[in-house]
Amino acid sequence: QSALTQPASVSGSPGQSITISCTGTNSDIGTYNFVSWYQQRPGKAPKLIISDVTNRPSGVSDRFSGSKSANTASLTIFGLQAEDEADYYCSSYTTSRTLIFGGGTKLTVL
């Protein structure tokens, strides 16, 4: 199964908002609300920031927000801060009972 589709890179200035898209198919995002987002800083393990499309774990800033429409999920970061610069990955459960990741998006804070 091919990876979910994410833009390779996005950028924004401090204080701005950005959105990262994650496009799948009817076999994954289109069927389940089991979409998660992860933040990964260089040399570190990924960190969960959004689960089940919209849920934010305790301790994660409310500047992070998730949504979904049809086969596409989105992560929006409001009020960009320098510390948000990282790689972001989406994941989804699939009809094959497997998991799949997006290719990852590098966020640059200008």
Q: Which residues bind another protein (CB under 8 A)?
A: 1, 3, 32, 34, 36, 38, 40, 45-48, 51-52, 57, 87, 89, 91-93, 96-104
Given the complex with another protein, which of 3 and 10 has the nearer CB atom?
A: 3
3-class DSSP string for the chain: CCCEECCCEEEECCCCCEEEEEECCCCCCCCCCCEEEEEECCCCCCEEEEECCCECCCCCCCCEEEEEECCEEEEEECCCCHHHCEEEEEEEECCCCCEEEECCEEEEEC
> From the CB of 97, what's the least distance to another protein, in Å?
5
With respect to another protein, which residue has the nearer C-beta, 101 or 110?
101
